Structure 1
Amino acid sequence: MLAVFKHYPFSVNLLLLSSLFLTMGRAITLPYMVIYLSSNFTLGVSDIGLVVGSAMLVGSLLSVYGGYLTDKMSSYRLILSFTGFFTLGFIGMCVTAHLWMFFLFLVAFNFAYSVIDIVVKAAFGKLLPEAERGKVFSVRYSLINIGYAVGPFIGAGFAHMDMKLPFLISAALGLGTFLTYMIWGDRTLSPTDRASLPISFASVGRTLLKDHRLVCFTVGGALSAVAFGQFTGYISQYLVTTSTPEFTYQVISAVVAVNATVVICLQYLVGKRITNEHLNRWLTAGFSLFLLGVVGFALSTSVWHWALAVGIFTVGEVIVFPAEYMFIDRIAPEHLRGMYYGAQNLSSLGGALGPILCGFALASQPPQFMFYMLAAFIVAGGCFYLMGASFSNRHDYGSID
């Protein structure tokens, strides 16, 4: 995969590396957020979940406005500004002694990360021809997964010395990214057509709601994210309910390892073959693998069964993520590309709801009912994607079957 960097301009490579280091900064701290909140603010598990989950939800909702800013302002200024917010968010969480301020800094960090994600994806649409975008989305997703795989190990090493150190290391990565992009970032990236963008955020929102494809993709993404957004969370919930802590630990360790290995090894190899032709078929294949994976979860009785099921599930992930980015890239008008990606980010709301819905299902129904529920969400999400692909509107770019 590293050889692919030679084929992209320096500005694209800088955006890819920025995604890697900011994701690593996020992954260094987030796994230890529960311990930090518990020890510093004496919160219970349910209160911690409310604080972290609410901050992520608010950050995701605010990111839609970040998409609007992406279409109105220079990408260079936005990346610098929100990388600054990213850095200050970690510094603030580290030094504050007040829970309400910690929550605001946590929201600021989540908001900043989401907006940078939108700006980077929109910038690829400006810097690369359409045929190259699927490949670069796959490269970026591989780098993000590398960041999530490496970050917790770095965080663990520093957390043993002092629980504040992971926050400071994350802030340092943010500051390093800020300084690097300030010196070498592409200052020429600007909105394609300022004159054609509606003046107010509300008017842009009304425009987006009229695009039935975008609405269907957003709803479909939110529904399916219930199943794949936080799958390690609901697997843990199921195993804690149905087995021993020792077996739960063995399975989760295997699941995390298999997921990271499959994504890192296959993401670019598969993603570069996903083109604008037959995107609908690629998504159908990806959702089918999600469904097979969930069925495998329901039938698994050993660590090897769980590893095989998560391997199948992860291949679906490898297909769906770059394919859905390309769907949005294809239907988005140039002057609204940021808002379209911002709307797509709302699918993360489904990921936040997944563990909550699974918890209710496990508390009120037989354990395996949870997997039937998740399968239903996958099917419903896939149907909304197919509905979106069938709509014809003023952004019709041709056949996507």
Structure 2
Amino acid sequence: MKDVSGRLEFQAVSKVYERPVVLLLLATFILTIARALALPYLVVYLSQTFGLGVADIGLAVGGALIVSSVLGVYGGFLVDKFSNYRVMLGAAIVFALAFTLAFEVNSLVLFIVAIVVVNLAYAVIDIAVKSGIGSLVAPDKRGSVFSLKYTLTNVGYAIGPFLGMLLANISPGLPFAAAALIGAGFVALYAVLGGQITHSACVERSDKGFATVLIHMLGNYRLVCFTIGGILSAIVFGQFTAYLSQYLIVTSDPENTYRIINYLVTTNACVVISLQYLIGSRINQNNLFPMLMLGMAFFLVGLMGFCYAQVHVVWIVAMIVFTIGEIIIIPAEYLFIDYIAPEDMRGVYYGAQNLSNLGAALGPVLCGIALSLYAPGVMFYILSLCIVMASGFYFMGSRRRG
């Protein structure tokens, strides 16, 4: 009897994780490793290579993310219009070329342009992956696939920074070259295998214009509330490596900054990998708001831990607490958008969710300004205020139906 149930369970899992779904998840994993090779150390690279101060670094990193996030909404619109194969292949080619440009150029302007394009291409691929999962996987199985996607993203962020640190010790620009090579390798793989997704998924394509789609989304009260809440909370968790690097550059030295950031990124990934299924499986539409508030509380405790950390152990413990908040918030956003998105507008709804990256973009800008005007610890109290405001918008979105 156990053998029969085991075979049935294996068949059920195999049916969910067919080759097109596996390829989508593989795209997440490979390109996250490529991105994580270089971007976690972007603050230090800008400081050492271009001689930028913390405020200018914040503007550079934040501005790149703002532009790519806004353009990502149109990327979601394209995902609804065209096949995942064409969108993902094109975005992956652009991803590899942009990292090549970042490695080759000596101009700050061209370097920032390259980083904008990297972030935009990655965002479009991420939207296409989510949309593909929504099309290929039955509704009752999507939560587990989204959870696995989130886990693979964090495995990529656990591997990438270690490799990036090794390469950066050889040459500061080498992580960008390695990221370009990995991106090119994925393009070759996807060009051969990616067409299966087009043939496997029968997706209703939207015939609405972009302006019509935007008006529709602006009229969705719950989407607007959760998007604003997501922007505010993403100020805190979206690019924590960037603002913590800025803080450490002010209060420490580059070598110690590299070391602590490496510890924190790895701790973040390990906690997510270990606890994501345990915690994420307990989030559903019935307990969405209480779980969101619990996540907000973990963020607040983590921020205060960072504020008063003096030794590496305290930094790591604070990161563990902070990461539990992230574990709660991110899957909740995935499931919420999947629940409210129309079938023919799934991509652009995920594009709207990606607007939370505006918060990730604003984080380094806001923190750079705070660090230049006030005592370093004030930065963490400003971030805590963002969490309180985000909670208010989550409350409004959770109370309203339809």
Among 218, 232, 235, which residue is 1:209 paired with? 218
* Residue 314 (structure 2) pairs with residue 314 (structure 1): no
* Pair 1:79–1:246, CA change in 2 (3 A): closer
Matched, 1:122 2:131: yes
CA contact (8 A) 2:56 2:368 kept: no
Match among 264, 277, 283 for residue 268 of structure 1: 277
Among 72, 78, 81, which residue is 1:63 paired with? Answer: 72
Distance in 1 between residues matched to 2:103 and 2:368, nearest whole Å: 31
Q: Percent identity?
A: 47
Alignment of 1:291 onto 2:300? yes
User: Cα–Cα, structure 1 residues 250 and 268, in superposed 2: closer, same or farther, change >3 Å?
Assistant: same
Match of 1:149 in 2: 158
Decide whether the 8 Å contact of 1:131 with 1:275 is kept in 2.
Answer: no
Q: How far apart in 2 are the matches of 1:299 and 1:37? A: 27
Residues 189 and 90 from structure 1, CA distance in 2 versus in 1: closer, same or farther, beyond 3 angstroms? farther
Q: Which one of 205, 221, 225 corresponds to residue 230 of structure 2?
A: 221
279-288 or 327-336, which deviates more: 279-288
Query: Which residue number corresponds to residue 198 of structure 2?
Result: 187
Is the Cα contact below 8 Å between 1:73 and 1:190 reproduced in 2?
A: no
CA distance in 2, matches of 1:367, 1:161: 32
Please tell me whether the aligned partners of residues 146 and 331 of structure 2 are also in contact (alpha carbons under 8 angstroms): yes
The letter for the 1-side match of 2:362 is L
User: Retained in 1: the 8 A contact 2:93–2:184?
Assistant: yes
Which of 381, 384, 387 aligns to 2:390? It is 381
- TM-superposed CA distance for 1:363, in Å, is 4.5
- Counterparts in 2 of 1:351 and 1:5: CA distance versus 1, 3 Å: farther
Query: 1:398 maps to which residue?
Result: none
CA distance in 2, matches of 1:151, 1:106: 17
Note closer, same or farther for the CA distance 1:114–1:5 as it changes in structure 2 (3 Å cut). farther
Q: C-alpha separation between the residues in 2 aligned to 1:232 and 1:59? A: 18
Q: Counterparts of 1:32 and 1:295 in 2: how far apart (Å)? A: 24
Answer yes or no: is 1:278 the counterpart of 2:307: no
In the other structure, the counterpart of 2:20 is 11
Q: CA RMSD in A?
A: 3.0
**1:44 maps onto 2:52 in alignment:** yes
List gaps (5 residues or longer) in structure 2. Answer: 1-9
CA–CA distance in 1 between the matches of 2:162 and 2:265?
13
- Residue 361 of structure 1, aligned match among 362, 366, 370: 370
SS at match of 2:199: coil
Partner Cα distance (2:187, 2:261) in 1: 35
- Written as runs of structure 1 = structure 2, the 5 A alignment for 1:235-250 is 235-238=244-247
Give the TM-score normalised by structure 1. 0.86
Residue segments in structure 1 that go unaligned for 5+ positions in a row: 394-401
Going from structure 1 to structure 2, the CA distance change for 1:53 and 1:240 (only over 3 Å counts) comes to closer
Which of residues 82, 87, 92 in structure 2 aligns to 1:73?
A: 82
- TM-score, normalised relative to structure 2: 0.85
Q: Which has the higher contact order (CA 8 A, sep 6+)?
A: 2
Aligned counterparts, 1:162-181, within 5 A: 162-181=171-190
- Matched residue pairs, number? 388
